[in-house]
Amino acid sequence: MSSISIPAEFTLHRKNIYNHTNANQWIVSHARPYLWIIVMIIVGAIGNAALAAYVPVLTGDAFNAMIQLPPDTSVLLPLAIIIGVSQIIRGVLQLGRNFGAELMAQYMERDIRDELYLSLLGKSMTFHNLQPVGDTMARATNDVREVNFMFNPGVNLVVGSFMFIVMLFAATPRYHPSLLITPTIFTIIYFVALARYLKTLAPITDEVRATFGDMNTHLSESLDGVEVMKGAAQEGAEVDRFVSNARRVRDSFVSQGDLEGRYIAMLILGAAYAGGLVHALLLFRAGTIDLGAVIAYFGLLRLLEFPTFTSTWAYSQISSGMSSARRILELINMETRLDQNASGLTSDMRGEVEFRGVSFSYPAGEPVIQDVSFKIKQGQTVAIVGQTGAGKTSLAKLINRTYDITSGQVLIDGVDVREWNLAALRSQISIIEQDIFLFSRSLSDNIAFGKPSASKDEITAASVASQAHDFILEFDQGYATVVGERGVTLSGGQRQRIALARAFLTDPRILVLDDSTSAIDSATEDKIQRAISNAARGRTTFIITHRLSQIRWADLIIVMRKGRIAAIGTHDELMKTSEAYSRIFRE
């Protein structure tokens, strides 16, 4: 069975998940469920712009009333009341528009963050091994936030400002059709300049987001490796590297600011004011329009202030948001070659494992497993030994499809692992590695991570079996004790016993112990060895270790050398027949 390229090894179903490769379509797809909010924003923008245009119209009427002889002051109070009421209504509409935009921005951020998180959980280990954590965090936090800002204030102000231009065109003809000349020329030059501005701005905002991701990647690596950095006294060198990355981020932002500063929108606005006023005065001198019309028209021209001012930074916010959207979508669509096979086999395992001519290599790397074949019966305990780099861990991770083979077949109970439903496959296989990862949660939650529904008695029984119960009770809060990030508040041996308890609780049919007792002291080793022996009964167990005490009681020993099987047999057989095996104990 050949694997196919798909975005994720697990498809996690949620209501707001969309399959797109184009960022514009992806954003529209996320916005579509909130059509009612979009309608609220547009209605609020139209009402706000219309009532803003109403004020200069009424002001012109007031001027005409005052300059006639005798002045008609009786209209002033009604006009003042109308202006006051209209602006109160305008304020309510503007509040509704802003509230709707903010609500939509928050919904969008939530949905996109949810989709990205689910996508990351569904990615294969090949993806996670190659993708820098810092860059992923930058995309999951800062870039998602930029999409939020793209909608509010970005899109919110752009929609609102566009309606101001529309209302200017709607109100101007009532005074004289030729007065549309200035707004028309302004609009043409405005949008031409805006198009050129956005075309130049897009690669700069892409660079801003990319350099920020690079800086975040270096920061993450420095913090993860801070012990190594301090041990090598390289703090100064790392600071210099970080400053260099920060300088690149600064230079990108400066380039963006420089482009924004050279945008000619305000210059176009000034020219529109001058041209429009001259045109209106010429019509006034010709007796074509009255003074009130001149006053009203100039007030209408001032509606252009809002779109002009917002264009200097709102479109920049949209461009930055689209750059972030492209980066997020790129991460979501990064492919992995692992198929969850949702319709695959889901039955209970017996635990028989067979490798048939298996080879494996990491992407763009040399083969680490080459033509490996062996068969393990149900319930057998198998020790995998070999020098560092022989491919022992990689071999074990092919069983549960943490990685997929390059060629050959891995079979469980006679069925190719790719024919199994991936979730069913992994739920019945437990791998305990040397580098134990614990979550920053209670000990009880960490033990029950693979079986959240486990009762307190089940958790305690698993802890007793793994020799963890006694040291857990020594903590003031017992099983409720919260461990630090990655379990740093526990010793190596304690972490490994918690991991063993986690495995015992899930009762896997296949258990893989990858040098998982390396950090356990001699006094505890005998106890935990008996616990492992008991746990191995009735299930197939693979032990990757250098400890002779664990190797000796294995039913079968596989000796790995440079990705190949150098020898296979029992301890006594291999000590007599395998130079590679006996050398391990002499070194």
Confidence of residue 528 (pLDDT cuts 50, 70, 90): low
Give yes or no for residue 542 having a pLDDT over 80. yes
Residue 336 is classified by DSSP as: B
- Average pLDDT for residues 254-276, to the nearest whole number? 85
Give yes or no for residue 524 having a pLDDT over 70. no
The pLDDT, as a whole number, for residue 7 is 47
- Average pLDDT for residues 333-343, to the nearest whole number? 73
- Average pLDDT for residues 162-186, to the nearest whole number? 94
Smallest CA-to-CA distance from 333 within 131, 197, 168, 150 is with 131
The pLDDT, as a whole number, for residue 95 is 93
Which burial class, exposed, middle or buried, applies to 531 when counting CB atoms under 10 A from its CB (0-12, 13-18, 19+)?
Answer: buried
Give yes or no for residue 2 having a pLDDT over 50. no
- Average pLDDT for residues 268-289, to the nearest whole number? 92
The pLDDT, as a whole number, for residue 4 is 37
- Average pLDDT for residues 314-341, to the nearest whole number? 83
- Average pLDDT for residues 543-565, to the nearest whole number? 83
The pLDDT, as a whole number, for residue 18 is 55
Give yes or no for residue 175 having a pLDDT over 50. yes
Condensed to tens digits (0 to 9), the pLDDT of residues 61-111 reads: 888 888 877 877 888 888 889 999 999 999 999 999 999 999 999 999 999
Percent of the chain with pLDDT over 90: 29
Torsion angles phi and psi, residue 271, rounded to 5: -65, -35
Of 65-69, 156-160, 499-503, 528-532, the poorest mean pLDDT is in 528-532
The pLDDT, as a whole number, for residue 486 is 63
> Regarding predicted confidence, which is higher, 521 or 419?
419
> Regarding predicted confidence, which is higher, 434 or 39?
39
- Give the tokens for residue 583: 């050398």
Q: Strands 540-544, 381-386: parallel, antiparallel or unpaired by DSSP? A: parallel
The pLDDT, as a whole number, for residue 105 is 94
> In Å, what is the CA distance from 90 to each residue of 34, 43, 60, 87, 168?
23, 11, 20, 5, 17
Which burial class, exposed, middle or buried, applies to 162 when counting CB atoms under 10 A from its CB (0-12, 13-18, 19+)?
Answer: middle
- Average pLDDT for residues 241-250, to the nearest whole number? 87
Condensed to tens digits (0 to 9), the pLDDT of residues 217-240 reads: 888 777 777 767 777 777 788 888
The pLDDT, as a whole number, for residue 6 is 43
DSSP class per residue in 219-250? HHHHHHTHHHHHHTT-HHHHHHHHHHHHHHHH
Q: Which residues of 448-469 are buried (b: 16+ CB within 10 A; e: fewer)?
A: bbbbeebeeebbbbbbebbbbb
Give yes or no for residue 280 having a pLDDT over 90. yes
- Give the tokens for residue 31: 């916005």
Cite the beta strand spans of 435-474 per DSSP E: none
> Regarding predicted confidence, which is higher, 180 or 519?
180
CB 148 within 8 A of CB 134: no
Confidence of residue 1 (pLDDT cuts 50, 70, 90): very low
The pLDDT, as a whole number, for residue 103 is 94
- Average pLDDT for residues 483-510, to the nearest whole number? 79
CA–CA separation, 488 vs 450, rounded Å?
Answer: 21
> In Å, what is the CA distance from 551 to each residue of 153, 172, 293, 386?
65, 91, 98, 12
- Quote the pTM value: 0.74
The pLDDT, as a whole number, for residue 405 is 87
Smallest CA-to-CA distance from 202 within 389, 23, 60 is with 23
The pLDDT, as a whole number, for residue 518 is 57
The pLDDT, as a whole number, for residue 585 is 67
> In Å, what is the CA distance from 313 to each residue of 13, 45, 154, 238, 531?
37, 19, 8, 35, 65
Give yes or no for residue 17 having a pLDDT over 70. no
- Average pLDDT for residues 179-184, to the nearest whole number? 94
Q: Give percent helix, percent strand, percent coil of the chain, each to the nearest 5.
A: 65, 10, 25
The pLDDT, as a whole number, for residue 517 is 58
CB 121 within 8 A of CB 73: no
Confidence of residue 520 (pLDDT cuts 50, 70, 90): low
First CA to last CA distance, the chain: 42
Give yes or no for residue 290 having a pLDDT over 70. yes
The domains located in the chain, with CATH, are 23-333 (1.20.1560.10), 353-586 (3.40.50.300)
Q: Rg for the chain (alpha carbons), in Å? A: 35
Give yes or no for residue 15 having a pLDDT over 70. no
Give yes or no for residue 442 having a pLDDT over 70. yes
